[in-house]
Amino acid sequence: MISVRGINKHFGEVRAVSDVSFEARDNRVTALLGPNGAGKSTTLRVLSGVLRPDSGTATINGFNVVESPLEVRRSIGVMPHDSGIYTRLTARENIRYFGELQGMTRSRLDERIESLLDHLDMRSFADRRTEGFSQGQKVKVALARALINDPKHVLLDEPTNGLDVMATRSLREIILGLKAAGCCVLFSSHIMQEVANLCDDVVIIAGGSVQFEGSLEGLREKAQTADLEDAFIALAGLEQTT
């Protein structure tokens, strides 16, 4: 369970997020939906503990992200915006590095890597250096790395960016698998269709603040339209700008 209460964060003059509050529950996939620059990445970065909020609190699994960063990080798996994998290491070495940082025992780490390689269908490129990997392969490596400690909470920042149809579909199945395993999945996106296919709840964020929080059904009701994209545009207040 992820809970965000009244988070503010600014960089210099720029107000990145203001008074953002929402919840993401276990066994559910929650989407953080918003246009570019809405504050999605900033919110996720506050949750992963790399940014400190100016005010407000965020808790994951009951731990405050500012006060107990290590406990929080032990229970989350994060895939940032940029896959950020090491190109001179093989896929397997990339994954192993993070497992070792987590202090996993060797045997458990081996076991976990094998199961992730199968689960994410990475066998064919597991022992190649990641330089020159396709975007889909890179995302898989980054995802496997994020999932190495079998986290209860998974934060994904625009995971489908740059993926083709097949890779997107395979990622969708992985995310649904995580949900089925009882995880609390929070991912950010700016594509409504992708969200509609995958998520249970949606948080629409625009201009740094939350415009809507609820289920997909609730979204349709509130915007009074069956078309989710229209609903998104209406609620994110994008009509004036387009």
Partner 1 sequence: MNVIWTVLKKECVDNIRDRRTILSSFSLALLGPLAFVAMMTFVLNKALGESDTTVEFTLAGADHAPGLVAYLEGQNTEIEQIDLEPGQDPRVLVTSGAHDLLLVVPEDFAERFENGRSNALALIYDSSELGSAQRRARRVDSLVSTYSRTIGLMRLQLRGVDPSIAQPVSTRTVDVASPAERALMVLTTLPYLILLVAFMGGFYLAIDTTAGEREHGSLEPLLTQPVARSQLVLGKIGATAVFALASLCVFLIAFYFSVPFVPLERIGMSLDVDIVAVLMMLGVMLPLVWFAAALLTVAASFAKSYKEAQTYLSFLILVPTLPVIVAQVSGVEASLPLMMVPSLSQSLLVQDLITSEPITLIEVLISAVSTGVLALGLTWLAILLYRRERILI
Query: Does residue number 52 form part of the binding site for partner 1 (CB under 8 A)?
Result: yes
Q: Which position among 18, 61, 83, 188 is part of the footprint of partner 1 (CB under 8 A)?
A: 83
> Of residues 1, 5, 57, 89, which one binds partner 1 by CB under 8 A?
89
**Contact region with partner 1 (CB under 8 A), list: 44-52, 169-177, 196-204, 219-227:** 44-52
Size of the site for partner 1 (CB under 8 A): 36
117 touching partner 1, by CB under 8 A: no
C-beta of 43 vs 211, nearer to partner 1: 43
**Of the candidates 4, 29, 31, 78, which one interacts with partner 1 according to CB under 8 A?**
78
Stretch that binds partner 1, among 25-33, 69-77, 112-120, 177-185 (CB under 8 A): 69-77
Q: In three state form, how does the secondary structure of the chain look?
A: CEEEEEEEEEECCEEEEEEEEEEECCCEEEEEECCCCCCHHHHHHHHCCCCCCCEEEEEECCEECCCCHHHHHHCEEEECCCCCCCCCCEHHHHHHHHHHHCCCCHHHHHHHHHHHHHHCCCHHHCCCECCCCCHHHHHHHHHHHHCCCCCCEEEEECCCCCCCHHHHHHHHHHHHHHHHCCCEEEEEECCHHHHHHHCCEEEEEECCEEEEEEEHHHHHHHHCCCCHHHHHHHHCCCCCCC
Q: Does residue 87 interact with partner 1 by CB under 8 A? A: yes
44-47 — which CB contacts under 8 Å span 24+ positions? 44/78, 44/80, 44/155, 44/157, 44/186, 44/188, 45/80, 46/4, 46/7, 46/9, 46/17, 47/2, 47/4, 47/76, 47/155, 47/186
Give yes or no for residue 10 binding partner 1 (CB under 8 A).
no
Query: Does residue 85 touch partner 1 according to CB under 8 A?
Result: yes
Report in angstroms how near the CB of residue 110 gets to partner 1 at its nearest: 15
Residue choice 13, 14, 36, 70 for contact with partner 1 (CB under 8 A): 70
Q: Is 142 in the site for partner 1 (CB under 8 A)?
A: yes
- Least distance between partner 1 and beta carbon 13 (Å): 14
Least spacing, CB of residue 120 vs partner 1, in Å: 16
**Residue of 29, 31, 76, 116 interacting with partner 1 (CB under 8 A):** 76
Residues that bind partner 1 (CB under 8 A): 11, 45, 48-52, 69-71, 73-74, 76, 78-89, 93, 97-98, 100-103, 129, 142, 145-146
